[in-house]
């Protein structure tokens, strides 16, 4: 250590986040490119195991990665990474915690700041303060990804992070089991409501393959995550097999991507990491970028990039959005196709929980209640996969995925041809 470098100081176990702790207020943290939340609607679906293995897999692919154990009341990351909980982390001269490193990732957890046997008993506001401390008062340095392992559910922690940080997106973890899928839907809807981009859904604890006879058994059901992804118009990232070694590795502080890198599960985690990395880098280079478009005045309208269209382009990636007139949204796709969508038809096509019953798919919206002159008040980008529309009738919770807009336009074309 050079003479100019201040010696690290121990972090006091009783230290509390100060009222003056820096708040992000929706801004990115300095030096961190992307912040990804890993969430689940209920406990017991293996969310923390997914977060840990994804973080390590991203690191193994060359990314600089940090991991926050955002479950203040039930931290589990130190044990899964094999980090000692009896050695409090040191701090920099300006009071920032120096995160310990393991398997190429930096980690911060409440479990590193208190004895593992002592319960954390605190009310919601204090939980939020500690959470902000673990995110913003840590010396992360330069990171490509900061992974947030959220507690299950849709409570204070999720809302605090969604409102105080600019999240690049959220990954929803579920199992194929019906009860898990139903609750995962609610969690996904919550993040959509606060305009956090949905990166996709991961189905954990999928097929179990007997190590002796190679027979596949769907212990918790089959394909539920994929069906839910299709129904909600979000990406299905992949299915992780049910493997006892995943549990043993996590309990022993050696995640499966470290302990058994040749296994099917480890390979799946590496594929998931590559998929997420590719998707998020697509987000940073998307032609449309981020926008908040006021419909009546056409202020802050997104681009219309004819030069970005090409014959081999994606049929579900828009490179232009425009207002043809007050009742028509025009879309230019990367493959060169242009579609004109009637905005009232778009309002009637909303599939949010207020317009469509989530479990049965039954329509709750009565078309007769929608005025013929309904129009957008504003249109906002949602990640690189959708738009959110606030309507003149007060409705504002609908998320329209780009692939759904393309499918809607193609259905309109088919109906027109049939009518002719």
Closest CA to 25 of 127, 122, 135, 148: 135
Report the distance separating Cα 153 and Cα 187, nearest Å: 7
255-280: pLDDT as tens digits: 999 999 988 899 999 999 988 988 77
pLDDT score for 103: 95
Architecture of domain 292-419: 2-Layer Sandwich (3.30)
Q: How many CB atoms lie within 10 A of CB 327?
A: 16
User: Taking the complete model, does pTM exceed 0.85, yes or no?
Assistant: no
| Greatest Cα pair distance in the chain | 83
Distance, in Å, from the CA atom of 59 to the CA atom of 61, rounded to the nearest integer, reads 5
pLDDT value of position 35: 92
Residue 420: per-residue pLDDT: 45
pLDDT confidence of residue 23: 25
Q: How far apart are CA 312 and CA 294, in angstroms?
A: 32
| Residue pair 342/327 in contact by the 8 Å Cβ criterion | yes
Domain boundaries, the chain: 22-284, 292-419
* 360 Rama sector, left if φ>0, alpha if ψ -120 to 50, beta otherwise: alpha
The fold for domain 22-284 equals Rossmann fold (3.40.50)
DSSP code per residue over 357-404: -TTT--B---GGGS-TT--EEEEEEETTTEEEEEETTS----EEEHHH
Contact 179, 150 (CB under 8 A): no
Tokens of 412: 């309109």
Pairing label, strands 105-109, 399-401: unpaired
pLDDT below 70 — which residues of the chain?
1-27, 115-125, 154-155, 219-221, 282-286, 414-420
Residue 110: partners with Cβ closer than 8 Å, 6 or more residues away: 69, 71, 72, 73, 75, 120, 130, 134
Q: Under a CB-based contact definition with an 8 Å cutoff, are residues 181 and 236 in contact?
A: no
- CB proximity list for 35: less than 8 A, separation 6 or greater: 28, 29, 145, 146, 148, 165, 166, 167, 168
């Amino acid at each position: 250590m050079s003479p100019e470098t201040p010696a690290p100081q121990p972090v006091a176990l009783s230290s509390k986040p100060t009222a003056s702790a820096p708040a992000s207020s929706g801004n990115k943290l300095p030096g961190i490119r992307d912040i990804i939340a890993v969430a689940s609607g209920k406990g017991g679906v293996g969310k923390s195991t997914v977060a840990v293995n994804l973080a390590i897999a991203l690191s193994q692919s060359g990314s600089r990665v940090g991991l926050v154990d955002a479950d203040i009341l039930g931290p589990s990351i130190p044990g899964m990474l094999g980090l000692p909980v009896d050695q409090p982390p040191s701090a920099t001269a300006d009071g920032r915690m120096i995160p310990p490193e393991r398997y190429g990732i930096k980690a911060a957890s409440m479990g590193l700041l208190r004895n593992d046997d002592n319960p954390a008993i605190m009310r919601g506001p204090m939980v939020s303060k500690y959470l902000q401390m673990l995110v913003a008062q840590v010396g992360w340095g330069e990171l490509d990804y900061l992974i947030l392992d959220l507690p299950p559910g849709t409570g204070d922690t999720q809302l605090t992070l969604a409102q105080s940080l600019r999240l690049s997106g959220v990954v929803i973890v579920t199992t194929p089991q019906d009860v898990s899928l139903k609750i995962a839907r609610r969690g996904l809807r919550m993040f959509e409501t606060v305009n956090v981009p949905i990166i996709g859904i991961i189905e954990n604890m999928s097929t179990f393959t007997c190590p002796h006879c190679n027979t596949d058994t769907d212990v918790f059901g089959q394909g539920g995550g994929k069906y839910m992804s299709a129904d909600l118009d979000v990406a299905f990232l992949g299915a992780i097999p049910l493997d006892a070694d995943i549990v043993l590795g996590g309990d022993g502080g050696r995640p499966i991507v470290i302990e058994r890198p040749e296994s099917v599960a480890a390979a799946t985690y590496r594929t998931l990491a590559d998929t997420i990395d590719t998707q998020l880098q697509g987000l940073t280079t998307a032609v449309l970028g981020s926008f908040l478009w006021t419909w009546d005045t056409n202020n802050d309208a997104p681009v219309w990039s004819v030069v970005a269209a090409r014959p081999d382009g994606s049929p579900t990636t828009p490179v232009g959005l425009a207002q043809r007139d007050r009742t028509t949204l025009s879309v230019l796709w990367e493959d060169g196709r242009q579609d004109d969508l009637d905005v009232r038809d778009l309002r009637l096509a909303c599939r949010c929980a207020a317009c469509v019953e989530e479990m049965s798919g039954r329509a709750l919206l009565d078309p007769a209640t929608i005025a013929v002159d309904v129009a957008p008040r504003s249109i906002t980008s949602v990640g690189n996969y959708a738009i959110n529309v606030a309507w003149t009738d007060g409705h504002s919770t609908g998320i329209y995925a780009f692939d759904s807009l393309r499918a809607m336009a193609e259905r309109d074309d088919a109906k027109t041809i049939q009518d002719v």
